[in-house]
Structure 1
Amino acid sequence: MAELIPLIEDYCESLHLVAGKSPATIKSYRSDLQLLAQDVATTKELTLSSLRAWLAKAVAEGKSKATLARRTASVKGFSAWLVKQGELDRDVAARLVTPKAGRHLPRVLAQKEAGELVGNAVSEDEVQFARDSAILELMYAAGVRIGELVGLDVGDVDVAKRTAKVTGKGNKQRMVPFGAAAADALSQWITVRGELAQAEESALFVGVRGKRIDPRQVRRVVERAAAVTGVSDLTPHGLRHSAATHMLEGGADLRIVQEMLGHSSLQTTQIYTHVTASRLKAAFDQAHPRA
């Protein structure tokens, strides 16, 4: 076994216990670092040159800028942690430059399309239809990430107050509002939830086996509704982007949208201002007689 492998596992454990990183982030970092260990087996071999060579190989393999950016982040974090643990004398990855991945937003629905999509659940029976309708309504109304939706418990949602307690990245919790349509859909689902959920299951949304629903099943819910609506290229994250864009188009303050989405940086939220500006320009070009 390469010397780095147990160190990688210790690092990933610290990401979970100390840094509070999400399981998905830890899985990605572990995968990147295990690939590194195939080329760099020991801490002695871990140098700026060897890291650059490892990243250069990824470039030669045609890896995307997003993948390169994540791999760079993985090794920079690992190198800094090794210094703190006394495994390295200096941070060999500190001088690595993280490539800019660029922001490629998924498709953003028009408001009419979004309204049609959330009403187009495609399900095998009435109970699953109630669940899938609630999933679609809440994802669009609250702009939650798919992992946040899956992580919701019954007690996290207050239908009367129309709020949900969401646990986001880094285990940070926030309260998000939702509207009357989502409240109605949630009420209908909660009424019949017991017909599908196992007795001791706390999850708000459950799968066919009565346990917490899997993210893949949520993706299928969105994909089936998108196909019926005629927007088959829509992803669950696209619903989140659509919610944010429509709020800004409706005049919401950027910081309110930031808080609702759980963005740690306002810069992340500002990408939606570019979307709304481009949509405004497109509407102007199409409708104004002097365009």
Structure 2
Amino acid sequence: MAPIPRESRIPSSPVSDPAEALRGCFTSALTYPPLYVPPSKMKQPRPRLGQRLGQRQRHRPSPTITQELRPPPPRHHTQTCLRAHKMSTTLTSDALPPATALQKLSKLNVYDHTGAATTLPQLLTTGQPDYILTIFIRHFYCGNCQDYIRTLISAPLLSPSALAAHGKKLIIIGCGSPSQIAGYKADLGAPWDIYSDPSGAVYSALGMHKSFGLGAKKPEYITTPVLTGIWNGVVGGLKGGVFSGGNFARNGGEFLWVDQKLEWCHRMANTRDHLEVPQVVKLLNDWPNLG
């Protein structure tokens, strides 16, 4: 076939660069007038945050000072009310044991550190003052009760000499073996007389509970972490005998005797429910005006 003359060929594109030609096609497509969209179908711009809040405020009544901005009561007034409420609540006596249960106490023995037997009524009558507070603790390995004894020791008003000056006395009773009393007293430095009710008969007669619960609130007298207290209890059990410390589930309480008559009591609801030490001081100092 004969070649086509140069003069009869299709003239070439004025754009010599192919990339430039492709860019022009896209530009034409973007600048082409769009199809008609009715205003009702057009997407409205979202109002700004400030505008939206302003619209809501127009439909809501503005707060008044008397409704929203009530001034808080003075700080010292709040603390006084809370302290009074706490004292009036926690120093309300639990139900006293019936007379038949109290009569059994004369037949139930407690023991001192030498193993000598006596009874709770004898402890209350043999040359004793008119006001005696008996604090029943848990087993001798209980870290919570050990913290409690240490906190009692730190209160000068509860020392034996300070109490004796006002005709009052404090006695501690545990539920373990009497052989544990001497070491327990020496380790803690407790200055009060300590006795033991290993059978738990006195605990039961006075209506004390059994529980392993910790309670919802940690009391102020607890200073040892829970795991540390458990570990110390395990170590004490291995050294002194697991069952020598007493019944692990048995809880204690505080019982106030006035002229050999039980007038007030508090039973522990869980393993760390002793009266706080300031409340013990108030109980001994202010009875019967506990407020």
Q: Aligning the two structures, in what range does the TM-score lie when normalised by the shorter sequence?
A: under 0.3
In terms of fraction of residues, the more strand-rich structure is 2
Higher relative contact order (CA 8 A, sep 6+): 2
| TM norm structure 2 | 0.25
Larger Rg belongs to: 2
| TM norm structure 1 | 0.25
